Amino acid sequence: MPTNVVMPQMGESVAEGTIIKWLKKAGDRVERDEPLFEITTDKVDAEIPSPATGVLSKILASENETVAVNTVVAVIEREGPAEAQAKPSPARIESEVPAQTAPERTPRPGKKIRSSPLVRRIAREHNVDLNHIQGTGLGGRISKKDILTFLARKTAPESEVVVPAGIAAEAAGFSIVRGPAPEHIEFTGPTHIVPMTPIRRQIAEHMLASKKTSAHVTTVFEAEMTKIVTVRERMAEEFERSEGLKLTYTPFFVQAAIEAIKCFPIFNSSIEGTNIVYKRAINFGIAVALETGLIVPVIKHAEEKNFLGIARAIQDLADRARSKRLSVEDVQEGTFTLTNPGVFGSLFGTPIIHQPQVAILGVGAIEKRPVVRNDAIAIRPMAYLALTFDHRVIDGAVADQFMAYLKDRLENWQEPVL
């Protein structure tokens, strides 16, 4: 009967140990409690006695190897009956969702309707008779999803809620880097052929589809950044101290764009057939360059957040992107996008719309430029803002009003950052 020899847990918090020396060779006979090998851990060095008498048949971890506690590092063959394996008892669930009766999907009039406090509130606010809604929850309960679907059908009878496929369904595994890595190609002939990666293929399809779908027009404004640069310089330290977050320029642009979208809701819409679908939530996407391509994580319900909330959400998405914990959902349902070619030094670009959205804002590099103020040349931090919009639904005049408003918000920044 073989006995496994494991890396012992030498201390309650120790997670791993290193084998310093085997005191026996494979094939040696060992007595129970006879010293077998030496280890070192964060806390102690120790000689480990053999757990059984028999022949050391296999050594599975070599000297100087570090393994997790409870890893099998050797096997001892011995005679005798098998040891009874302790079997963990089935886990009990210490949580109780109230017991449910058998599903009953069709509520009858006069019968008590099962819903929730939230559903009853939404019904009250929208004047909905819950008798008209089919519940899909346990026991036919009307859930939040049910009433929201009901309301959506009522307001837009023909359209279904379309979830944008997004370009980065595979996002979860990527890590953010400073930018795309420079490519090294080893030519063996006049050309070198590499198949597109799935994400590259998706990006290609998506970009082309977008160009075919929308009537792209780009308008470019220039904004003076003096006020924001000052605010950032003054507050950066305190902001970081009190919130534990770095104060970057991105939340300023995001916040200003949200304000502009609130004034011009057409920028938070999409086209479905011959309908324009306005979105209540501003789900704000921020394009990020990755080694493998492009990804647009989304701040959901950005309109509900203040400056700090936006800064924190950006940090959170960045953190999770870094630790590869972005979920598929993190890159879905965007309603407007910001892209920032300025980080690589671009003055401005003409970005392609992220379907099914209708506009994308590009922010160029902030740099000091000579500008004319009061008929004199002054040096000011400036940035170009490029807005690509879909001329099918947005006319140039509206786009320029949007941009003028945005520029005004940036130049006359008011909102406290803390």
Partner 1 sequence: MAILTYLEAIRQGIWEEMERDASVFLLGEDIAAYGGAFKVTAGLLERFGDERVIDTPISESAIVGAAVGAALMGMRPVAEMQFMDFISCGFDQIVNMAAKIHYRWGARVPLVIRGPAGAGVHGGPFHSQSNEMWFVHTPGLKVVVPATAYDAKGLIKASIRDDNPVIFFEHKYLYRRVKDEVPEEDYVVPLGKAAVRREGSDLAIITYGAMVRTALEAAGQLMTEGISVEVVDLRTLLPYDEQCILASVRKCSKVMLLHEDTRIGGMAGELAAMITEKAFEDLDGPVVRVTAPDTPVPFSPPLEDYFLPGVQKVVEAARKLAAY
Binding site for partner 1 (CB under 8 A): 9, 11-16, 42-43, 86-89, 91-98, 116-121, 137-138, 141, 143-144, 240-244, 300-301, 304, 312-313, 316, 320, 322, 325, 327-330
Q: Are strands 359-363 and 336-339 parallel, antiparallel or unpaired?
A: parallel
Rounded to a whole number of angstroms, the minimum distance from the CB of residue 218 to partner 1 is 31
Are the beta carbons of 36 and 67 closer than 8 angstroms?
Answer: no
| Separation between Cα atoms, residue 248 and residue 230, nearest integer Å | 12
Structure tokens at 414: 């008011």
The DSSP element (H or E) to which 80 belongs, if any, is none
Q: What three-state secondary structure class fits 405?
A: helix
331 or 394, CB closer to partner 1?
331
Distances (CA, A) of 367 to 77, 196, 235, 343: 73, 36, 20, 11
Residue 117 CB, nearest approach to partner 1 (Å): 5
Active site residues: 391, 395
Task: Report, in angstroms and rounded to the nearest whole number, the Rg of the chain calculated over CA atoms.
Answer: 31
Cβ-defined contacts of 287-290 (< 8 Å, 24+): 287/337, 287/338, 287/339, 287/340, 287/351, 287/354, 288/176, 288/318, 288/321, 289/177, 289/179, 289/180, 289/344, 290/174, 290/175, 290/176, 290/177, 290/180
Look at residues 46, 43, 48 and name the one whose alpha carbon lies nearest to residue 11. Answer: 43
| Closest CB to partner 1 among residues 177, 328 | 328
Which residues have CB under 8 Å from 293's CB, separation 6+? 167, 168, 180, 197, 199, 200, 203
Query: What's the token pair of residue 256?
Result: 């200003």
Residue closer to partner 1 (CB basis): 211 or 325: 325
CB closer to partner 1 out of 76 and 119 = 119
Residues ≥6 apart with Cβ < 8 Å to 320: 326, 330
Helix (H) / strand (E) containing 219: strand 216-224
Count other C-beta atoms under 10 Å from residue 175's C-beta. Answer: 12
Full strand arrangement of the beta sheet holding 72-77? 2-6, 72-77, 54-59, 29-30
Comparison of 118 and 208: residue with beta carbon closer to partner 1:
118
Going along 7-153, which residue ranges are E strands?
Answer: 16-22, 29-30, 35-40, 45-49, 54-59, 66-68, 72-77
- State the minimum distance, in angstroms, from the CB of residue 245 to partner 1: 9
CB closer to partner 1, 14 vs 220? 14
Cβ 327 to partner 1 shortest distance, Å: 6
Nearer to partner 1, 157 or 173 (CB): 173
